[in-house]
Structure 1
Amino acid sequence: MELRTTYTSTDIDPREARRKAAVLSIFVVGSSLVLSISMGAVLSISVVDALTRATTSWNYARARRRSIAPHGAADWPGLPEDLLLTVMAALDVPSIIRSGAVCTSWHSAYKAFRGLHRLPPKQAPCLLYACDEYGPDAAALYCPSTNATFRIPFPQPPDKSRRFAFSCQGWVFAADEAGDPYLVNPTTGSRAALPPFETIYHGESHYDRDRKNALKARLENRVFRPTVSWAWHSGYHRVAISAAAEVAACTVLIVHTPDQWRLSFARPGDKRWTFLCEEEFQDVLYNDKDGLFYALGLDSSVSTIDLAGPSPTVTMIMRGVSGWCDPTKYLAFTPSGELQQVWRIWSHPHFSVKFMVDADAVDFANEYGDAHNLNEPDANDDDEQKTSEVTTIKLLIFKVDIGRQKLVELRDIGDHALFLGYNTAMYFSTKDFPVFKPNCAYLTHDCFDFKPTLPTDTGIWDVNKGSMQKLQDAWPYMYSWLDLPAPIWITPRF
């Protein structure tokens, strides 16, 4: 199939127009060919624009002589590999993988590109979720930047008795039927085994004496007994993975719930998890700029963890400021390297949360008193909604001022979008990815207390207005996801 593109602008050289038409032809044709393979994936105009920019240095005469006949059929399989590598460097990872399925020569170029161990510089987050359309043996990967959905074969895919545990550095931390964890790259299928669940400190406390039933979880007016499989998977709360070219060289740090929110770490191939310390934590992340892990305590204290030396070193760099842990808390680094805390406060249908903080250690923007009840529901809250689902009612973003030992509330994150859920918190520039709204947080459900029983709370939080838009309303063309497991954000990688 040949695409003919007409340029009417007098500012474009005819040769440049023909070169641009050729590039557009390549990938429109490529998309058509891959369409039948990838079940509906289509490149967006923004990606095509990126392709055009990426090939501005390509010599038109050489491309025309070697691969493109202006008035005849184009020899798409005959495109030179160096041109394909240049173009792939401008694509997101799902589109690169898709282009490698077009033909043998393009697949060779794709393998060569992967061998370079070079990710394109700007990768947008995608949403990984389970849906009825793809059945029990696969998951859906939705790419908002291209409006494309991919069917991802998933080993032992999550269902209502299990979940995606976490995503970090392009990997998904998941677990098999026995609850033993592993890392999987959903875009390539690569896997790396991790030590079994039973080697985690006090992992046996998750079960009754017969090891047949999970311990009961009480929800005020009801008692929920999760399946054994669900209990295994609920044992993992947060995950951080060190950056490494090869997954076998990485270190995995987890917050696990047997024995109350402790930290353990391991490397692929280890026999056991190594218990780290007695303190309790809610979030962890890895900073590739200094090679340290950062851990967020239940009291909002922050510690650095050095796992690169002969023995682990834990150093507190920010004191605790709060007395209880009901808000879901995250650590995040901004693109400029600023350390932040984010508190996500829920409206629980079964009880009201009172959350007290040290007023001398937190600088709120304006509206709170000295004793802060941060989860006080508004008078106009929908009572019916509060009895049927968990809802985000506040999102507080703080700069961690280590010098002053204070948290300073921010009311604006500028031209950035923040992605939170069962993933490492991520910031992205909305100038690079205009499909995302500036000064907004994209949230997926990760309310630990109620994840087995209630619908997911997923949407776009406007930081300035303090309001939530349902994600289904913003992206209506996605397949509907299952309430369980909750969707997760992931930045694809090779």
Structure 2
Amino acid sequence: MEIFSREIPDLLRAGAVCSSWHQTPCLFYTCESAGKNVGCIYSLAEQRTYKLTLPDPPIHDRHLIGSSDGGLLVTLDDMSEMHLLNPVTGEQMALPSVGHLTIYQTGPAESLTAGPDGISYAILSITMKQVNPIYDESGAVVWYEHLWHYWADEFLIQMPMVNAPSDLLLYFHAKAFVFTEALTGSLLVVLIHHPVGQLSFARVGDDEWTSLPPQYRDYQDCTYKDGLLYAVTALGEIHAIDLSGNSAMVKVVMGKVLDIRDDFRNTYILHAPWGDVLQIWKTEEEEYVHPSEDDDYDAILKNTANIEVYKCDLVEGKLVKINPLQDHVLFVGHNQTFCLSAEEFPSLKANHAYFTDDSQNWITQFKNNRRDIGLFNLDDNSRDELVCPQLWSNWPVPVWITVNLAKLNLACDISS
């Protein structure tokens, strides 16, 4: 925890009081030509790329599932283990495993279960109740047993699934967030995961995850303010969650505004700089393409078709559509959703949404597909490319972060 406390509270937060230390929105990505251990940060303000050599495991082999407003990344390695990574300093810290043991014990014969390979393994105690790790005789995790789900119209279908550790990230982890708790200053990590968009959390230094009861589910995005976590569901319902005690206290502050979930719609939540709670809907559409024999991607792509911004009237329990966005700019994707003033960041386009690809099933099941990244004009519903030609590899999927350019210049080499 100490390695992050030097970076987050003291240095990165300085942007709030000194204009020369402003946190600048950037796109973090990898590029095959740069090398497996090199991360790239594209500055929207400077329209240039910074390259950073990062520690193992190789960043090109990780999955990026979240970022903080202080510049931290949440990554998954090739064994589906989670890490917090500071890309500017290269410092990182392991987060609790979803199958980390609380008490190590040898399973009796009657607790053995057959793995997909036909061999019997012992199931031991776990910290995240949604996942059962299955161990071999040496104590190494060889399989994870968990629930998977899909929707058939409005009906939820759940079924058991067994994955190798390298594949768990494709089916279990959805999106992660890092917040600084108001009272203690501790870093709080929140994970939305399957089945059915459930939510678990841990503080940096914890040995295990704490999960909300399974009736609280279908979450898609979170924000944090004044000691409360605000989480929005696929149906637009908003929950205020107090995580300060030994157990989480959940209060519904806005009921659902939709009757039917839509796999082509992503829902986001944030506190706007002017004080309102905003709900963002990003709608996607399928594009059918005809790749040649040399192309390494699938024939169906997803593209952002529309983005709508709503003010949440928590008293009346309804949404009020707003447009324009008061000369502000949105950032949505696998990052913590945020909104900036175009006046403070003149290089950004006012009343636009900067988006990255965060459609989980498409990201993880179609690793080689072109990624849906660009700008969406909220005035006329048009879209544009962020840069052309594309700078990034399709895996891991790029994510928005905010970093301090003064510190970044000291940490890495600059390329045009």
TM-score w.r.t. length of structure 2: 0.73
* TM superposition shift of 1:154: 2.5
Distance 2:7 2:239 in 1: 41
Q: How does 1:98-109 map to 2 (within 5 A)?
A: none
Q: How does 1:190-209 map to 2 (within 5 A)?
A: 190-198=91-99, 199-204=127-132
Question: Quick one: structure 1 residues 117 and 457, their matched pair in 2 at CA, closer, same or farther if it must change by over 3 Å?
Answer: closer
Confirm or deny: 8 A CA contact 1:261 1:280 kept in the other structure. yes
Please give the root-mean-square deviation of Cα atoms over the aligned residues, in Å. 3.5
Residue 338 (structure 1) aligned with residue 238 (structure 2) = no
* TM superposition shift of 1:428: 1.1
* TM superposition shift of 1:210: 7.0
**Secondary structure of the equivalent of 2:180?**
coil
- Structure 1 spans left out of the alignment, 5+ residues: 1-110, 350-381
Question: Cα deviations across residues 194-216 of structure 1 (Å, max 9, x unaligned)?
Answer: 11021323223999x97289999
* TM superposition shift of 1:162: 3.9
* Equivalent in 292, 302, 321 of residue 238 of structure 2: 302
Q: What is the match of residue 192 of structure 2?
A: 255
Q: What is the match of residue 443 of structure 1?
A: 355
Q: What is the match of residue 396 of structure 1?
A: 308
Task: For 1:201, give the aligned amino acid.
Answer: K
* Equivalent in 144, 150, 167 of residue 50 of structure 2: 150
Task: For 2:67, give the aligned amino acid.
Answer: S
Distance 2:186 2:261 in 1: 36
Q: What is the match of residue 375 of structure 1?
A: none
* TM superposition shift of 1:304: 0.5
Question: Quick one: structure 1 residues 447 and 168, their matched pair in 2 at CA, closer, same or farther if it must change by over 3 Å?
Answer: same
Question: Quick one: structure 1 residues 470 and 254, their matched pair in 2 at CA, closer, same or farther if it must change by over 3 Å?
Answer: same
Task: For 1:240, give the aligned amino acid.
Answer: F
Structure ID, larger Rg? 1
Question: Quick one: structure 1 residues 117 and 410, their matched pair in 2 at CA, closer, same or farther if it must change by over 3 Å?
Answer: closer
Question: Quick one: structure 1 residues 487 and 399, their matched pair in 2 at CA, closer, same or farther if it must change by over 3 Å?
Answer: same
* Equivalent in 139, 143, 164 of residue 211 of structure 1: 143
Q: How does 1:177-192 map to 2 (within 5 A)?
A: 177-192=78-93
Task: For 2:332, give the aligned amino acid.
Answer: L
Question: Cα deviations across residues 96-138 of structure 1 (Å, max 9, x unaligned)?
Answer: xxxxxxxxxxxxxxx9999667522331211100112321111
Question: Quick one: structure 1 residues 196 and 226, their matched pair in 2 at CA, closer, same or farther if it must change by over 3 Å?
Answer: closer
Question: Cα deviations across residues 164-192 of structure 1 (Å, max 9, x unaligned)?
Answer: 11111321111233212121111122222
Question: Cα deviations across residues 258-310 of structure 1 (Å, max 9, x unaligned)?
Answer: x221111111222211111212133343334x121111122210001111134
* Structure with the largest fraction of helix: 1
Q: What is the match of residue 229 of structure 1?
A: 166
Q: What is the match of residue 74 of structure 2?
A: 173
Residue 348 (structure 1) aligned with residue 286 (structure 2) = yes
Q: What is the match of residue 256 of structure 2?
A: 320
Distance 1:249 1:210 in 2: 33
Q: What is the match of residue 15 of structure 2?
A: 120
Q: What is the match of residue 242 of structure 1?
A: 179
Distance 1:215 1:167 in 2: 26
Task: For 1:253, give the aligned amino acid.
Answer: V
Q: What is the match of residue 20 of structure 1?
A: none
Q: Percent identity?
A: 27
**Secondary structure of the equivalent of 2:49?**
strand
Distance 1:409 1:263 in 2: 28
Distance 1:244 1:216 in 2: 32
* TM superposition shift of 1:435: 1.1
Q: What is the match of residue 397 of structure 2?
A: 486
Q: What is the match of residue 379 of structure 2?
A: 464
Question: Quick one: structure 1 residues 418 and 387, their matched pair in 2 at CA, closer, same or farther if it must change by over 3 Å?
Answer: same
Confirm or deny: 8 A CA contact 1:206 1:231 kept in the other structure. no
Question: Cα deviations across residues 355-397 of structure 1 (Å, max 9, x unaligned)?
Answer: xxxxxxxxxxxxxxxxxxxxxxxxxxx8879954111111121
Task: For 1:119, give the aligned amino acid.
Answer: A
Distance 2:357 2:185 in 1: 30
Task: For 2:247, give the aligned amino acid.
Answer: S
Distance 1:396 1:436 in 2: 19
Task: For 1:203, give the aligned amino acid.
Answer: V
Distance 2:372 2:186 in 1: 35
Task: For 2:267, give the aligned amino acid.
Answer: K
Residue 275 (structure 1) aligned with residue 203 (structure 2) = no
Q: What is the match of residue 103 of structure 1?
A: none
**Secondary structure of the equivalent of 2:40?**
strand
TM-score w.r.t. length of structure 1: 0.62
Q: What is the match of residue 124 of structure 2?
A: none
Distance 1:210 1:137 in 2: 26
Larger relative contact order (CA 8 Å, sep ≥ 6):
2
**Secondary structure of the equivalent of 1:204?**
strand
Confirm or deny: 8 A CA contact 1:162 1:230 kept in the other structure. no
Question: Quick one: structure 1 residues 153 and 116, their matched pair in 2 at CA, closer, same or farther if it must change by over 3 Å?
Answer: closer
* Structure with the largest fraction of strand: 2
- Structure 2 spans left out of the alignment, 5+ residues: 1-5, 17-21, 100-126, 136-140, 153-161, 292-297, 408-416
Distance 1:238 1:113 in 2: 21
Alignment coverage as a number of residue pairs: 340
* TM superposition shift of 1:245: 9.5
